């Protein structure tokens, strides 16, 4: 068996632990492993395909990022190709990719990625490629698995930021609005906000009313609590409004969500006369060492993915269905994105603790 591993989309803490576990589990079976660099670019002549041996994966399990590097502009079905006149044309290079894989003797792929990369893996499987997926996202927005690796690390990073903001906000009687990642899902904001004892949490699943949000802040003021921590998911938006966007990250790409913290901070200051500050935590949430939880989940996923290859579970992805790691069809996971379930006990617990969702 000659197995190829690729990492696609935004990086997430734990990618290297998956790679390490998959490589060691494959070597244990006497298989050969190749690493496709930068999404699938390595198989399209825009980067390399390298052997992954014990040596390459030694001492990487605790490191953030990915030794294979990654991209969110490498969809082989919609591949950006520079034209001689400098313009970029989008072309389907999936046949070329599969042909190059065959020439390298690749029998199967392990594709590690979020919804975008899993959609690519699904399309490659439909074309006959033997692919097993591994769900990765700090946003926790991939369905079919209780969680993905990277999320716990991001939550801890955000929680530590909230802890630090408490002391400065309290010292100055300020409202500090912290914007955390998550795209259109509010998991990072909800989990870090509750763990960090924020006073207001704004998530896309609960559109906020700025007047109710300010009323919550003024109610605390009346109780003699003169500071507030507001945690806003980057995709949060007001009732009847839209999420804030920063524009395209690169020409032709999807819009980047963000800017809500600044907007909300200005509105709170204008309505309550309290001094406000805002902060965007940004890519700090994607960096650094994975937590113990994420290292373990990533290791289990990497090992289970190799087992799935051995079992011929093509077109499936490994998933956490506590306490077990199972496989589910990638198609099922892609059917609808995962969002915060408003009936979840964490939402009701937060409300009972007095946390406002601005609704
Ligand atoms: O999906 C992961 C994520 O970090 C989102 O939370 C965020 O909106 C986006 O990626 C940022 O993407 P980029 O790294 O392209 O700025």
C-beta 71 within 6 A of ligand 1: no
Name the closest-CA residue to atom 12, ligand 1.
Answer: 10
The structure tokens 């969110």 sit at: 72
- Ligand 1 atom, smallest distance to 286 CA: 4
Please tell me the predicted confidence (pLDDT) of residue 247.
Answer: 80
Please tell me the predicted confidence (pLDDT) of residue 287.
Answer: 97
Please tell me the predicted confidence (pLDDT) of residue 251.
Answer: 60
Write phi, then psi, for 47 (nearest 5 degrees): -165, -165
C-beta 75 within 6 A of ligand 1: no
- The Å distance, Cα 183 to ligand 1 centre, comes to 7
Please tell me the predicted confidence (pLDDT) of residue 253.
Answer: 67
- Ligand 1 atom, smallest distance to 183 CA: 8
Query: What one-character-per-residue DSSP string does 218-284 give?
Result: HHHHHTT---EEEEEETT--BTT----EEEESSTTSPEEE--HHHHHHHHHHHHH---EEEEE-GGG
C-beta 10 within 6 A of ligand 1: yes
What value does the mean pLDDT take over residues 154-163?
98
C-beta 11 within 6 A of ligand 1: no
What value does the mean pLDDT take over residues 72-79?
93
Q: How confident is the model at residue 255 (pLDDT cuts 50, 70, 90)?
A: confident
- Ligand 1 atom, smallest distance to 257 CA: 8
Please tell me the predicted confidence (pLDDT) of residue 317.
Answer: 98
Residues 16, 17, 18: CA angle, nearest 5 degrees = 90
Mean pLDDT of the chain: 97
- The Å distance, Cα 137 to ligand 1 centre, comes to 9
- Ligand 1 atom, smallest distance to 234 CA: 8
The predicted model scores a pTM of: 0.97
Q: What angle, 0 to 180 degrees and rounded to 10, lies between the N-to-C axes of helices 187-195 and 151-172?
A: 50
- The Å distance, Cα 181 to ligand 1 centre, comes to 7
Please tell me the predicted confidence (pLDDT) of residue 252.
Answer: 57
Residues recognised as catalytic: 139
Please tell me the predicted confidence (pLDDT) of residue 168.
Answer: 98
Write phi, then psi, for 240 (nearest 5 degrees): 75, 0
């Amino acid at each position: 068996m000659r197995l190829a591993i690729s990492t696609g989309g935004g990086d997430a803490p734990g990618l290297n632990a998956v790679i390490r576990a998959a490589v060691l589990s494959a070597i244990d079976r006497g298989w050969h492993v190749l690493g496709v660099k930068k999404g699938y670019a390595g198989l399209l002549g825009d980067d390399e395909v390298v052997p992954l041996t014990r040596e390459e994966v030694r001492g990487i399990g605790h490191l953030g990022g990915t030794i294979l590097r990654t991209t969110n502009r490498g969809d082989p079905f919609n591949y950006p190709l520079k034209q001689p006149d400098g313009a970029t044309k989008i072309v389907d290079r999936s046949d070329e990719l599969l042909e190059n894989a065959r020439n390298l003797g690749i029998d199967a792929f392990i594709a590690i990625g979020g919804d975008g990369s899993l959609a690519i893996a699904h399309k490659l499987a439909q074309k006959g490629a033997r692919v097993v997926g591994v769900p990765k996202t700090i946003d926790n927005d991939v369905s079919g698995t209780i969680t993905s690796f990277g999320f716990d690390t991001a939550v801890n990073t955000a929680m530590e930021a909230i802890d630090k903001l408490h002391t400065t906000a309290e010292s100055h009687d300020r409202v500090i609005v912290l914007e955390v990642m998550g795209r259109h899902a509010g998991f990072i904001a909800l989990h870090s906000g509750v763990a960090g004892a924020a006073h207001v949490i704004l998530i896309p699943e609960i559109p906020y009313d700025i007047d109710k949000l300010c009323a919550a802040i003024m109610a605390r003021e009346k109780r003699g609590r003169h500071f507030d921590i507001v945690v806003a998911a980057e995709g949060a938006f007001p009732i009847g409004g839209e999420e804030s966007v920063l524009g395209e990250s690169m020409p032709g790409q999807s819009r980047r969500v963000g800017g809500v913290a600044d907007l909300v901070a200005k509105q709170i200051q204008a309505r309550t006369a309290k001094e406000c500050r805002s902060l965007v935590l940004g890519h700090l949430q994607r960096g650094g060492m994975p937590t113990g939880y994420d290292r373990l989940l990533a290791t289990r996923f990497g090992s289970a993915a190799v087992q799935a290859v051995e079992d011929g579970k093509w077109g499936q992805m490994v998933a956490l269905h506590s306490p077990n790691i199972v496989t589910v069809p990638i198609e099922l996971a892609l059917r609808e994105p995962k969002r915060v379930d408003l009936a979840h006990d964490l939402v009701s617990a937060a409300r009972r603790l007095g946390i406002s969702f601005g609704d």
